[in-house]
Structure 1
Amino acid sequence: MSLPPRLRKTVLTLHISTSVGWLGAVLAYLALDITAVTSNDPQTARGAYVAMSLIVVYVIAPLAIASVIIGTVNALGTSWGLLRHYWVLVKLLLTIFAAGILLAEVPTVTHLGRAAATAADPRVLPGTLLHSIGGLTVLLLTVILSVFKPPGITPYGWRTQSARQR
Structure 2
Amino acid sequence: METNARVLSRQLRTGSGRFLSNRRTIAGLALGAAGSMGLISLYQMGLIEHLPEPPLPWLDADRVDAAPEAYQRMGLPMPDAALGLVSYGTTVALAAMGGADRTTEQPWIPLAMAAKVGVDAVQAAKLTWEQWAEHRAFCSWCLLAAGLTFAAVPLAIPEARAALRRPGGQADGYEEIAREAGSWT
TM range (shorter): 0.3 to 0.5
Give the TM-score of the pair, scaled to structure 2. 0.41
Give the TM-score of the pair, scaled to structure 1. 0.44
Which structure has greater helix proportion? 1
